[in-house]
Amino acid sequence: MAKESVKRKKEFVGIVKSDKMDKTIVVAVETMTLHLLYKKYVTRIKKVKAHDEANEAKIGDRVRVVECRPISKEKCWKLATIMERVR
């Protein structure tokens, strides 16, 4: 019997940088990667567009986004939860 592989959806935690589009937020995701030559950790920032159905996330909120089917040309993430609201 063949072993079934379970594909997990990718998850990122990031900060909302823009909420000006309708039902879309731009989330900046920071990752720490080790530089191969200098052996120092470098911070890399990747911006992803995520679907926010209720337009509830605001600039500065810390959110969790999960991978989903492509919704538009650049949008293949959706808002899972708002972890921390900006004051």
Cβ contacts of 11 within 8 Å, gap of 6 or more? 64, 65, 66, 67, 80
Short-list 29, 66, 30, 31, CA closest to 50: 66
The tens digit of pLDDT for each residue in 47-62 reads 999 999 999 999 999 9
Q: Which residues of the chain have pLDDT under 70?
A: 1-2
How high is the pLDDT of residue 2?
65
Give this prediction's pTM: 0.86
Cβ contacts of 76 within 8 Å, gap of 6 or more? 67, 68, 69, 70
β-partners of residue 26 are 18, 49
How high is the pLDDT of residue 26?
98
Q: For the domain 11-84, what is the CATH code? A: 2.40.50.140
Short-list 61, 32, 58, 26, CA closest to 45: 32
